[in-house]
């Protein structure tokens, strides 16, 4: 028999000499059959059960959808191919398995992107990298969900691409939600309150601006005007949109669009004068991407974007990043031998995306994952089977490994949080200056704004971060370093109409310059100073109001005759129901002013330092001291003994004598000496006060009035004056609270009060006293020294400016 036909077990029965050899032959045959049965059973079980450890495939197919006509698409295509080559050249990454990537071009067309994704259904791919556009990612993510293929996009940053709706979508770059939080922090840092949003009207633009609105609201700011643009807007449409923005108040403009239309916006804004001083332009990362990839622009382009603030995804410096960037000059030649494209952050994230997928595949195989697919037919009406999808059986396991894999890539630490966002996203805040850019700070969701690199702050607890929450000085639009106010008065907005109450006030507070429409005084200065502190210019015009009652002025503000009112206007409950008031600029109380007479230094003037009550209390203290000392001393001290008359005299005179000089009686008991020592301290205090009051009486004038207060004035039933125009509250208080007869109340002008007080209550038109607010009475008394305030303060009132309802485009001025 030829050797090729020999059986694996040979035995020559003719040579068997004993039964032992036959037994050995049977045992060997038995074990050989058992081994074969177990071996083939194991293979059949491995083919039917994916959970069992299996051999790695030689090739793993990966899909990639890019927009190859864009600069970012060209860069990322070269980067992705380089990453695949690096992985395939290193057998330790996937244990000998090779990655085979198929790159398709969607030409920025959503329909074509969907068609290409459907094409992937018929192939055995385990993951898709891309697409670049968030709009296309929305459509393809639905397909990825159906075929259980992870969709890893390094540039689809739309916050609406949620893992809840699209579980197989994995974003491998920072979410736009964090970029909008950085912009909101900048707005808050400069104390701006409202911004204008220019955005492309698609899923990417709308979702980004919605995220910005949410972040601004958290900081008590808002988007005051939204200006959507069509994805393919013409220059005329861009100009019409910008012209509408000129008519608004806000001058903070956030541009969230694509690179090809972003520069057109700035070019048209330049022609409309919207890049002059006072405007602030903030661009999302599309502008920094253009600057990084295309390199130096023409002088006209750079002039259009001067002073603009933009953001760039922060990539910490590392050895891996430096090595990869140094390779870029050679890699760029794959695109074009004369290519001048620079590396951008999208390219770095695309490189790490491929490595993330490779590491996840390695973990997938180590867990026993198999590359196998199932057919899932799609049926149409009538049961016609058009095509079938290849559903990746191990898609969920691969997705879990992608989200759990941590790598140190060219972008730094690359891992996901529990909500499937990249760990600690951060951005650089960049200012366009001259022919280049200047880094003015950083933002991260851990430390906020800071001039310190975010990765150097991660070692601090969130509640103990260094006080570096600021930015470097900015070179603003219009070639100025002064921070813009952020708003301006709209072109077609009318002036603020401000009523000025001038009839019922003194000239020191507000007056009209004779022969002009100008006003002066303390109230005018407060108003104009407050206007200067507003973040925008507000034109206004004063109108004199000459009615005596300020309640009428309040009513006219309510009716829209005036937009606001300035003057000394009392804040009362009935007025608060009609209009809004500013916080009180001062407080005033009702006081009573009456004539006085000078008290001379007469014979009994030495008694005036103390009141009668004080004299009585002092006398009682003298007698109490004498009685206390007598009780303690008369049993053991002969000076406090003797006839009853003598002891009474000693009790009476002992306290009085200690006030003037030392007493002749000696104190022998310890308790008596302690009482006397305490009494001497009391005498020292009484004596000091007496001397001080007596000196004041001798040196200073002390006016006095027969009217001691409002109660004594009402009791005298004499005429009471109140200042006309400013005394309406005083009149109401006297009638309603003190029940003064209205016939006893005499209105008088401020300049006539002095004559009425001099005439007195006995003459016609005369008054016993006048009641008014202290701010008026103090000025009145400064020029009329023969009168004085009497009694306690009566009522306290706040004074402020009135604000009305503003219509159209006018702005509150107070």
To which H or E segment does residue 775 belong?
helix 774-783
C-alpha distances in angstroms, 440 versus 443, 450, 730? 10, 9, 60
User: Per-residue b/e over 264-297, b at no fewer than 16 CB within 10 Å?
Assistant: bbbbbbbeeebbeebbbbbbbbbbbbbbbbeeee
Q: Among the ranges 57-66, 499-508, 664-673, which has the highest mean pLDDT value? A: 57-66
What tokens appear for 758 in the block?
């001099």
The helix/strand/coil state of 462 is: helix
Query: What is the DSSP code string of 156-219?
Result: ---TT--TTT-TTEEE-S--HHHHHHHHHHHHHHTT--EEEEEEESSHHHHHHHHHHHHHHHHT
The whole-number pLDDT of residue 351 equals: 95
Residue 275's nearest CA partner among 475, 104, 567, 124 is 475
Q: Which residue reads 């990537």 in tokens?
A: 101
- What per-residue confidence (pLDDT) applies to 88? 94
Weakest mean pLDDT among 302-306, 584-588, 741-745: 584-588
Helix, strand, or coil (residue 788): strand
Task: Please state, in angstroms and rounded to a whole number, the distance separating the CA atoms of residues 726 and 567.
Answer: 11
CA dist 457 and 463 (Å) reads 12
Between CA 401 and CA 364 the distance in angstroms is: 7
State both tokens at 18.
């004993």
Q: Determine the 3-state secondary structure of 451 from DSSP.
A: coil
Give the mean model confidence (pLDDT) for residues 779-797: 77
Q: How many CB atoms lie within 10 A of CB 405?
A: 20
Q: Is the pLDDT of residue 491 over 70?
A: no
Indicate the helix (H) or strand (E) that contains 146: helix 134-147
Q: Cα(first)–Cα(last) distance of the chain, in Å?
A: 116
Question: H/E/C letters for each residue in 238-259?
Answer: HHHHHHHHHCCCECEEEEECCH
Cα torsion angle, 677, 683, 688, 689, sign: positive
pLDDT at 729: 67
> How far, in Å, CA of 654 to CA of 671, rounded?
16
Residue carrying the six token digits 């599309």: 286
Residue that the structure tokens 């450890």 belong to: 53
Q: What pLDDT digit, counting tens, does each position of 293-333 carry?
A: 987 678 889 999 999 999 999 999 999 899 998 888 888 87
pLDDT in tens, 230-281: 988 999 999 999 998 988 888 999 999 998 889 999 999 999 889 998 899 9
- What's residue 501's pLDDT? 84
Distance between CA 752 and CA 139 in Å, rounded? 85
Residue 223: strand pairing partners: 195
How large is the average pLDDT for residues 2-22? 43
Give pLDDT, residue 682: 82
Q: Which residue has the higher pLDDT, 463 or 177?
A: 177
Residue appearing with tokens 């085979």: 100
**DSSP line for 65-119:** EE-TTSHHHHHHHHHHHHHHHHHHT-HHHHTT-EEEEEEEE-TT-HHHHHHHHHH
Q: Say what the pLDDT of residue 240 is.
A: 92
CA torsion, ordered 278, 284, 287, 292, to nearest 10 deg: 130
Mean pLDDT check: name the lowest of 23-37, 311-325, 577-591, 747-761. 23-37
| Cα-Cα-Cα-Cα dihedral sign, residues 272, 275, 280, 283 | positive
Structure pTM?
0.66
C-alpha distances (whole Å) from 803 to each of 505, 559, 566, 796 are: 19, 12, 9, 22
| Residue 35 per-residue DSSP state | H
**What is the rounded CA–CA span in Å between residue 211 and residue 183?**
11
Q: Lowest mean pLDDT of 193-202, 364-373, 640-649, 718-727, name the range.
A: 718-727
List all residues 6 or more positions away from 763 whose beta carbon is below 8 Å from its beta carbon. none
| Of the candidate ranges 383-387, 744-748, 779-783, the one whose mean pLDDT is the lowest | 383-387
How far is 6 from 1, CA to CA, in rounded Å? 7
What local confidence, expressed as pLDDT, does residue 149 receive?
Answer: 93
Cross-strand partners of 388: 377
Return all residues near 566 (Cβ < 8 A) that are at least 6 apart.
498, 499, 500, 501, 510, 523, 524, 527, 542, 801, 814
Under a CB-based contact definition with an 8 Å cutoff, are residues 63 and 101 in contact?
Answer: yes
CB distance 505 to 568 below 8 Å: yes
Helix axes 285-294, 71-88, angle to 10 degrees: 70
Over residues 531-550, the pLDDT tens digits come to 888 766 778 889 988 776 67
**Do residues 105 and 130 lie in contact, with contact meaning Cβ atoms separated by under 8 Å?**
no
**pLDDT score of 206:** 94
521 band by pLDDT with thresholds 50, 70 and 90 = confident
Residue with tokens 């008054």: 767
Among 650, 651, 659, 652, which Cα is nearest to 680's?
A: 659
What is the pLDDT, as a whole number, of residue 773?
A: 79
Rounded Cα distance between 604 and 697, Å, is 12
Residues with Cβ within 8 Å of residue 227, at least 6 apart in sequence: 196, 197, 198, 199, 241, 242, 244, 245
Q: Which residue has the tokens 């020191």?
A: 508
Q: Which of 280, 311, 304 is nearest to 198 (CA)?
A: 280
Find where tokens 């001099």 sit.
Answer: 758
**DSSP per-residue string spanning 319-382:** HHHHHHHHHHHHHGGGT-TT--PPP-HHHHHHHHHHHHHHHHHHHHHHTT----EEEEEEE-GG
Residue 94's pLDDT band (cuts 50, 70, 90): very high
DSSP 434: T
Report percent pLDDT > 70 for the chain.
81
DSSP string, 586-626: EEEEEEEEEE-EE----GGGGGTTS-HHHHHHHHHHHHHHH
Centroid of chain to Cα 524: 33
Facing residues of 430 across strands? 310, 439
Query: Hey, CA dihedral for 458, 462, 467, 469, is it positive or negative?
Result: positive
Q: Which residue has the higher pLDDT, 648 or 437?
A: 437
Q: CA-to-CA distance for 359 and 348, rounded, in angstroms? A: 17
Query: Measured between alpha carbons, how far is 282 from 405 in angstroms, rounded to an integer?
Result: 35
Which string of b and e fits 45-72 if b means at least 16 CB within 10 Å? ebeeeeeeebebbeebbbbbbbbbebbb
Best CA proximity match to 799, nearest among 773, 769, 781, 777: 773
pLDDT at 679 over 50: yes
Mean pLDDT over the full length of the chain:
80
Residue 433: beta bridge partners?
Answer: 436
């Amino acid at each position: 028999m030829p050797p090729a036909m020999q059986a694996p077990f040979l035995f020559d029965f003719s040579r068997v000499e004993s039964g032992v050899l036959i037994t050995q032959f049977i045992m060997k045959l038995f074990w050989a059959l058992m081994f074969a049965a177990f071996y083939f059973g194991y293979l059949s079980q491995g083919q039917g059960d994916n959970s069992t450890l299996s051999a790695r495939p030689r090739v793993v197919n990966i899909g990639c959808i890019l927009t190859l006509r864009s600069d970012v698409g060209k860069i990322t295509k070269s980067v992705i191919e380089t990453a695949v080559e690096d992985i395939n050249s290193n057998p330790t990454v996937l244990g000998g398995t090779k990655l085979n990537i198929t790159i398709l071009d969607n030409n920025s067309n959503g329909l074509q992107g969907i068609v290409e994704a459907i094409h992937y259904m018929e192939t055995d791919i385990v993951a898709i990298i891309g697409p670049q556009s968030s709009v296309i990612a929305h459509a393809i993510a639905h397909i990825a969900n159906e075929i259980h293929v992870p969709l890893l996009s390094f540039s689809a940053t739309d916050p609406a691409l949620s893992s809840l709706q699209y579980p197989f979508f994995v974003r491998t770059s920072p979410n736009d939600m964090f970029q909008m939080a950085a912009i909101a922090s900048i707005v808050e840092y400069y104390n701006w309150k409202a911004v204008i949003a220019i955005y492309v009207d698609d899923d990417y633009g709308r979702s980004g601006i919605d995220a910005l609105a949410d972040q601004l609201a958290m900081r008590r700011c808002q988007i005051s005007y939204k200006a959507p643009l069509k994805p393919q807007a013409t220059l005329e449409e861009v100009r019409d949109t910008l012209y509408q923005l000129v008519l608004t108040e806000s001058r903070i403009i956030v541009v969230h669009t694509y690179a090809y239309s972003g520069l057109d916006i700035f070019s048209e804004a330049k022609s409309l004068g919207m890049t002059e001083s006072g405007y602030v332009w903030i661009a999302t990362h599309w502008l920094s991407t253009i600057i990084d990839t295309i390199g130096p622009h023409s002088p006209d382009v750079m002039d259009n974007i001067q002073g603009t603030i933009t953001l760039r995804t922060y990539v910490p410096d590392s050895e891996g990043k430096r090595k990869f960037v140094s390779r870029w000059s050679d890699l760029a030649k794959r695109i074009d031998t004369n290519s001048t494209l620079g590396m951008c952050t999208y390219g770095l994230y695309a490189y790490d995306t491929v490595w993330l997928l490779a590491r996840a595949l390695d973990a997938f195989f180590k867990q026993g994952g198999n590359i196998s697919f199932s057919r899932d037919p799609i049926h149409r009406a009538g049961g016609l089977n058009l095509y079938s999808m290849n559903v990746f059986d191990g898609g969920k396991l691969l997705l879990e490994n992608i989200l759990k894999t941590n790598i140190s890539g060219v972008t730094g630490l690359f891992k996901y949080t529990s909500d499937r966002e990249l760990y600690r996203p951060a951005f650089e805040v960049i200012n366009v200056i001259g022919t280049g850019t200047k880094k003015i700070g950083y933002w991260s969701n851990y430390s906020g704004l800071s001039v310190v690199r975010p990765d150097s702050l991660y070692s601090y607890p969130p509640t103990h971060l260094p006080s570096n929450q600021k930015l470097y000085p900015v070179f603003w639009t219009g070639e100025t370093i002064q921070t813009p106010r952020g708003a301006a008065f709209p072109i077609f907005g009318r002036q603020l109409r401000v009523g000025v109450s001038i009839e019922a006030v003194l000239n020191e507070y507000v007056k009209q310059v004779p022969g002009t429409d100008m006003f002066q005084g303390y109230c005018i200065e407060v108003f104009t100073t407050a206007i200067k502190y507003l973040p925008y210019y507000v034109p206004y015009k004063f109108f004199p109001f000459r009615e005596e009652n300020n309640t009428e002025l309040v009513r006219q503000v309510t009716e829209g005759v005036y937009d606001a009112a300035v003057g000394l206007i009392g804040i009362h409950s009935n007025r608060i129901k009609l209009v809004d008031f500013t916080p009180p600029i001062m407080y005033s109380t009702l006081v009573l002013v009456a004539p006085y007479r000078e008290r001379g230094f007469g014979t009994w003037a030495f008694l005036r330092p103390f009141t009668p009550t004080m004299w009585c209390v002092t006398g009682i203290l003298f007698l109490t001291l004498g009685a206390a000392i007598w009780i303690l001393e008369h049993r053991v001290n002969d000076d406090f003994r003797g006839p009853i008359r003598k002891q009474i005299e000693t009790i009476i005179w002992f306290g009085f004598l200690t006030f003037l000089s030392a007493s002749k009686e000696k104190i022998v008991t310890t308790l008596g000496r302690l009482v006397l020592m305490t009494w001497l301290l009391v005498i020292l205090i009484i004596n000091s006060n007496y001397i001080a009051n007596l000196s004041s009486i001798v040196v200073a004038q002390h006016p006095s009035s027969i009217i001691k207060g409002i109660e004594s004035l009402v009791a005298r039933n004499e005429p009471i004056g109140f200042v006309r125009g400013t005394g309406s509250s005083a009149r109401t208080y006297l009638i309603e609270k003190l029940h003064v007869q209205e016939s006893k109340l005499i209105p008088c002008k401020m300049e006539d009060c002095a004559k009425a007080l001099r005439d007195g209550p006995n003459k016609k038109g005369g008054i016993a006293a006048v009641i008014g607010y202290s701010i008026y009475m103090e000025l009145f008394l400064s020029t009329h020294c023969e009168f004085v305030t009497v009694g306690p303060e009566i009522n306290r009132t706040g004074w402020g400016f009135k604000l009305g309802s503003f219509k159209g485009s006018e702005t509150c001025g107070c």
